[in-house]
Amino acid sequence: MDAEKLRLEREKMYTDLYHNVIPERFPVHDSITWNFLIEYSGKSLMDVQCRYDTDECIEILEKGMEILRGDNAPAAGGHYGVALMLNQNQQSVMGTTGMIQHPEREYMKADEYDAFIENPYDFFLEKISPRLNASYAKSEIDRQFAFARTLLCLQDVSARTSKANKFIADKYGYYSPPPGSGAHQYIPFDFLADHCRGFSKIPMDIRRQPDKVLAACDALMPFCLWAGYNPVDHPNGSNMIPTHMAAYLRTKDFEKFYWPTFKQVVHKTAERGQAMTIFIENDWDRYVDFLEEMPMGTRMYMEYGDPKKFKEKLGKKHILAGFYPLTMFLTATKEQCIDKAKEIIDIMAPGGNFYFLCDKSALTLNDINVENYVATMEYVLEHSKNDNAGQLVNPTMKREDTIVHYEFPEFKSKYIVPYDEYKKEYPPVSESIEPYMRAGYDKYNGMLRLRGLHNL
């Protein structure tokens, strides 16, 4: 099929899915990572992650087309070894195989909650960032140089990988929402656990100083909303939320510490028109009723749990995926893999609001049997057609009626100064250039925000 025609078909399919309409067929997503594709091409994971040559990335993606069958565009990119070296990153560490590991570390001490609560962003920049990035802790000048080198490095590799990804998308007719219509979305409790206290320390804080944990989550709300602001509005775009800690909490702790600010972030972001894609990590069977409270059209893909329960409870309101166990491609026969896909489709596809995706993604060649994977994906594609295409999934519900309004303090930081304040110190020499100065100031402040806190 002509690539542009295929792209337009995929665009309509996703647009229907995201707008309460049952598409001609449900989208099928590959569950293959960039790391896997590097290994599949026969190249060194470590070397490629420290090179990121455009032509080499295209070569790897082209090789991957032997096994990729999904509608979602494969993409080169991820951690860049040189950038991790430049800021001496302590949170993302490359192992001897080239795999990036996230060692369990404490970046904020138990007695620093009060300072953190006063202004989480300022505290992060002043205290946590130098602990995350050892090169920032040496001196003010060392930090400036290390940050500049890292930022330039990331911009350079982003340009190279973007060129490769566009080449593949154009050649094979992949559709993606417009650039800038999505962002990584922090949620307060996971941010506190992932980037501050650590996986093992946050449960102790819940027991020993619960009021501080609650206050910290509340204090993080303005920052999380600010950091997740996407520069381009488009209904097919979405912010991405991984959910790390929820499944490891007792239900009463989830309800008290995790859920309130999580829910508020999603609703507040929905209020400005942005959808969410949430990776429901581990087993959330006991939290299904909580998820029903999310705004209509929230996109969720599940790792474990009972698909019948999720479909029954959420299928008319939310867009669902997941549940297919990736491990089956390695441990089961081809027939068993296909039978499992049929089981998932029979449960999840009727009535719409569904796309096919495994419960996790293959990281290395040892994670799947490629033959089983390809056969199963081809079966799914052949059986992805919807008999009731064009019908509304839920004709009685409107998204705007499912959004709850919350009020939060405005995000403030002494390091993020609005242009009207900044220009008092350095005013434009003429009113005619003031719009350009304002636009430039806002543009590059926004680009800095989107780089992610681990690089600050």
The answer to whether residue 102 sits within a structural domain is: no
Block residue for tokens 């997740």: 228
- Sign of torsion, CA 393 395 397 398? positive
What's the pLDDT at 108? 97
The answer to whether residue 450 sits within a structural domain is: yes
Residue 346 burial (CB count, 10 A) = 11
**Closest residue by Cα to residue 311 from 356, 259, 351:** 351
Residue 65's alpha-carbon distances to 17, 172, 242, 383, in angstroms, are 25, 9, 27, 21
pLDDT, mean of each 10-residue run, the chain (456 residues): 93 97 98 97 95 96 98 92 92 88 92 98 95 94 93 93 97 94 95 94 97 98 93 92 95 98 97 96 97 98 97 98 98 98 98 97 97 98 96 96 95 93 93 94 82 56
Q: Name the packing angle between helices 140-172 and 54-64 (round to 10°).
A: 40
What's the pLDDT at 451? 61
Show the domain range for 427: 418-456
What's the pLDDT at 456? 54
What's the pLDDT at 450? 62
The answer to whether residue 451 sits within a structural domain is: yes
Q: What is the dihedral of CA 335, 338, 343, 347, to 10 degrees?
A: -170
* Single-letter amino acid, residue 225: L
The radius of gyration of the chain's CA atoms, rounded to the nearest angstrom, is 23
Q: How many helices (H) and strands (E) does the chain have?
A: 21, 6
What's the pLDDT at 396? 96
The answer to whether residue 153 sits within a structural domain is: no
The answer to whether residue 443 sits within a structural domain is: yes
The answer to whether residue 439 sits within a structural domain is: yes
Phi, then psi, of 416 in degrees rounded to 5: -115, 95
Beta-bridge mates of residue 239 = 276
Residue 228 burial (CB count, 10 A) = 23
Burial class (CB in 10 A: 0-12, 13-18, 19+), 290: middle
The answer to whether residue 41 sits within a structural domain is: no
The answer to whether residue 430 sits within a structural domain is: yes
Whether 92 and 79 have beta carbons less than 8 Å apart is answered as: yes
Count structural domains, the chain.
1
Q: What is the Cα–Cα distance from 392 to 410, expressed in whole angstroms? A: 38
Instruction: Provide the whole-model pTM.
Output: 0.94
What's the pLDDT at 455? 55
Q: What is the DSSP letter of 196?
A: I
